[in-house]
C-alpha cells in the first residue's frame, strides 16, 4: 500500500450456533443462464473488428461506435455500444472474462459460504465469510475486497472476499498465481482485476443457489480500497447483478483515466501511470503492456468503465491528499463518466466525492451522508441525494480539451 500501512483488520465474524446445511439438490448445482456478464441478446450487436486502428489524445467518445456509423442516439443502441466497450476493455487492458463455468455448487455453514467451481476438467474451491445483521432476511449485502474500509450500516450484511486467493498481487512476478489460474491456466489473458471480478460473479452465482445464506440477490454492493478499489469498479462494470459499486481511493487503474494520469505525470506530478502500473503488479492483462507507453491508441479509457456500471448505483470516493492517485485524473475521468449516466437519464445514480485531509483508505466522516444516501437508495430501498459531484482539490480540469464531445440525451 501507498503508506506501508496494513489494511484495516477484518471484522471478526461470530460463529453461528445453528448450522443449516444446504440441501443437496442436483438441479440447483447448475448456474442459471443467461449470463449477467454478457449481452442479454447475443448476436444482435456487431462484433468488435479483429483489428482496430485508433488514436485519440482526448478521452474517447463513449457514444461513437468503433465499428463505424453515426454516434448513437438511443438507449437501445447503447446496449450494443456498451457490449463493444466491454469487449474493448477486455481485449486491450483487462483480459478475457471467462463465461459461466460448467458447474458451480455451494454450501453455507457458520457464516462461511463455500463455492466449488469446475470448468473444462479443472476444479477449485474458495470461500467467503458473511457477517449477517440480526433480524430476518434476506438481507442486502456488500462484498468487500480484503476487508471493508467503509462503514457498513446495520441491516446490510458484509461478505468478506479474500480476492488475493483468486489472483495474487504480490508484485510483477506473481502473475498467473491464484485459484483463477489453477482453473484457467497460468497463461490466461485475464489480469487480477478480471480474475477477481470473475470471483465476485461466482459469489453471486453461489448466493443465488444458497437460500440458507439469506442474501437478497438484487441488493448486492461491492467495495474495496486502493488496489482493491480498482477491483471493485471492474466487478461492478462486469456483472450487472451488482446494484451498487463503491470504489474507494482506487486512483490510476480504477477511477482515473490513463490519458489524464499521463498528462499529470508529464507536468511534473508524482502520479501513477500505465507504464508504471504494468510492472508493479499483474492487475492488468499482459496485452496492456504494449499500450502502456501509448495509451492514446486504446479505444477506451476509464470513464467508459464507469459507463459499464451505468445505470446502476456508482459512488466513487477519492482522496485529494494522495498525489499518486491522480487528483485531476480521477476528477476529470469521472466527469466524463457522469456524462454517460446523464445521457442515460440517470445522472443522479452516479456520485463522485474527493475529499482530503485523511490517511489512505480512512473513510472521513464528511462523506458519511453521501455513503448513507447511496446505500439507502441502492441497497435498502430507501431514498437520499446521490447526485453528488464534489472535490476539495485545487486544480483546473480543462473539460473542452479532454471531453471534446457532448453527451446526447439517449431516446
Ligand atoms: C491506489 O492503489 C495502489 C496503487 O495503485 C499502488 O501503486 C500502490 O503501491 O498501492 C496502492 C494501494 O493499493 O494501497 C493500499
The whole-angstrom separation of Cα 153 and Cα 102 is 36
Which residues have C-beta atoms less than 6 Å from ligand 1?
A: 1-2, 226-227, 251-253, 272, 280, 325
Counting every residue written for the chain, the total comes to: 411
CB 317 within 8 A of CB 353: yes
CB 104 within 8 A of CB 117: yes
Its sign, for the CA torsion 234, 13, 105, 312, is: negative
DSSP 332-396: HHHHHHHHHHHHTT-GGGEEEEE--SS-TT---GGGHHHHHHHHHHHHSS-------EEE-----
What are the start-end ranges of the H helices in 191-316? 192-208, 227-238, 258-266, 274-280, 302-309
Distance from residue 107's CA to the centre of ligand 1 (Å): 34
Its sign, for the CA torsion 203, 205, 209, 100, is: negative
* CA dist 367 → 7, 108, 383, 391 (Å): 20, 34, 17, 11
The whole-angstrom separation of Cα 77 and Cα 73 is 7
Distance from residue 1's CA to the centre of ligand 1 (Å): 5
Pocket test for ligand 1, best of 4, 249, 251 (most atoms within 8 A of CB): 251
User: For ligand 1, atom 10, which residue shows the shortest CA distance?
Assistant: 1
Q: Which atom of ligand 1 lies closest to the CA of 361? A: 15
Q: Which atom of ligand 1 lies closest to the CA of 325? A: 1
Angle between helices 75-89 and 302-309 (to 10 degrees): 130
Single out the catalytic residue among 107, 226, 250, 329: 226
Closest CA relative to residue 225, chosen from 205, 204, 254, 260: 254
Distance from residue 261's CA to the centre of ligand 1 (Å): 14
Predicted pLDDT of residue 37: 73
Helix/strand number for the chain, H first, E second = 10, 10
User: For ligand 1, atom 1, which residue shows the shortest CA distance?
Assistant: 226
User: For ligand 1, atom 11, which residue shows the shortest CA distance?
Assistant: 1
DSSP 24-54: --GGGGSPPSS-TTS-SSTTSSPPPPSS---
CB 375 within 8 A of CB 311: no
* CA dist 112 → 115, 256, 338 (Å): 10, 34, 37
Whether this model's ipTM surpasses 0.95 comes out as yes
Closest CA relative to residue 184, chosen from 166, 163, 200, 171: 166
3-state helix, strand, coil in the chain (%, to 5): 35, 15, 50
**pLDDT < 70 stretches in the chain:** 1-35, 38-43
To the query of whether residue 201 is one of the catalytic residues in this protein, the response is: no
Q: Is 216 exposed, middle or buried (0-12, 13-18, 19+ CB in 10 A)?
A: middle
pTM greater than 0.90: yes
Report helix, strand or coil for 103.
Answer: strand
Name, in order, each residue with C-beta under 8 angstroms of 111's C-beta and a sequence gap of 6 or more: 13, 14, 15, 16, 129, 130, 131, 132
Helix (H), strand (E) at residue 399 = helix 399-402
Predicted pLDDT of residue 25: 34
To the query of whether residue 360 is one of the catalytic residues in this protein, the response is: yes
Predicted pLDDT of residue 13: 31
Distance from residue 227's CA to the centre of ligand 1 (Å): 5
User: For ligand 1, atom 15, which residue shows the shortest CA distance?
Assistant: 1
Closest CA relative to residue 141, chosen from 35, 255, 246, 24: 246
Predicted pLDDT of residue 172: 97
The C-alpha cell at 4 is 506501508
- End-to-end CA distance of the chain: give it in Å, rounded: 44
Residues 63-91: tens digit of each pLDDT = 999 988 899 999 999 999 999 999 999 99
The C-alpha cell at 247 is 470504489
Amino acid at each position: 500500500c501507498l503508506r506501508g500501512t496494513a489494511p484495516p483488520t477484518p471484522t471478526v465474524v461470530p460463529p453461528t450456533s445453528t448450522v443449516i446445511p444446504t440441501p443437496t439438490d442436483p438441479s440447483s448445482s447448475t448456474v442459471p443462464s443467461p449470463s449477467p456478464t454478457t449481452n442479454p441478446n447475443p448476436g444482435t450487436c456487431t462484433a468488435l473488428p479483429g483489428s482496430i486502428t485508433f488514436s485519440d489524445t482526448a478521452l474517447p467518445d463513449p457514444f461513437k461506435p468503433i465499428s463505424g456509423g453515426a454516434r448513437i442516439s438511443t438507449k437501445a443502441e447503447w446496449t450494443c455500444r456498451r457490449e463493444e466497450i466491454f469487449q474493448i476493455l477486455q481485449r486491450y487492458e483487462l483480459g478475457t472474462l471467462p463465461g459461466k463455468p460448467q458447474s458451480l455448487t455451494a454450501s453455507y455453514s457458520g457464516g462461511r459460504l463455500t463455492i466449488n467451481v469446475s470448468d473444462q476438467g479443472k476444479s477449485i474451491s474458495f470461500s467467503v465469510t458473511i457477517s449477517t445483521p440480526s433480524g430476518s432476511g434476506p438481507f442486502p449485502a456488500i462484498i468487500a475486497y480484503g476487508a471493508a474500509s467503509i462503514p457498513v450500516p446495520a441491516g446490510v450484511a458484509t461478505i468478506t472476499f479474500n480476492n488475493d486467493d483468486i489472483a495474487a498481487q504480490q508484485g510483477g512476478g506473481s502473475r498467473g498465481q491464484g485459484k483463477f489460474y489453477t482453473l484457467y491456466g497460468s497463461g490466461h489473458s485475464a489480469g487480477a482485476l478480471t480474475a477477481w471480478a470473475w470471483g465476485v460473479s461466482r459469489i453471486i452465482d453461489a448466493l443465488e443457489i444458497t437460500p440458507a445464506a439469506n442474501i437478497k440477490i438484487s441488493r448486492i454492493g461491492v467495495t474495496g480500497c486502493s488496489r482493491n478499489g480498482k477491483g471493485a469498479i471492474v466487478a461492478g462494470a462486469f456483472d450487472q447483478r451488482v446494484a451498487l459499486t463503491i470504489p474507494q481511493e482506487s486512483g490510476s487503474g480504477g477511477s482515473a483515466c490513463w490519458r489524464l494520469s499521463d498528462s499529470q505525470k508529464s507536468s511534473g506530478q508524482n502520479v501513477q501511470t500505465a507504464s508504471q502500473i504494468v510492472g508493479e503488479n499483474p492487475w492488468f492483462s499482459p496485452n496492456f503492456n504494449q499500450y502502456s507507453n501509448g495509451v492514446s491508441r486504446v479505444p477506451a479509457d476509464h470513464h467508459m468503465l464507469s459507463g459499464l456500471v451505468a445505470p446502476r448505483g456508482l459512488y466513487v470516493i477519492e482522496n485529494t491528499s494522495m498525489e499518486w492517485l491522480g487528483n485531476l485524473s480521477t476528477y476529470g475521468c469521472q466527469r466524463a463518466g457522469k456524462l454517460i449516466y446523464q445521457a442515460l437519464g440517470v445522472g443522479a445514480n452516479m456520485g463522485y466525492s474527493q475529499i482530503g485531509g485523511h490517511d489512505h483508505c480512512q473513510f472521513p466522516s464528511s462523506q458519511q451522508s453521501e455513503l448513507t444516501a447511496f446505500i439507502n437508495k441502492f441497497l435498502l430501498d430507501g431514498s437520499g441525494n446521490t447526485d453528488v459531484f464534489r472535490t476539495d482539490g485545487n486544480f483546473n480540469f480543462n473539460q473542452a480539451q479532454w471531453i471534446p464531445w457532448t453527451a446526447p440525451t439517449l431516446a
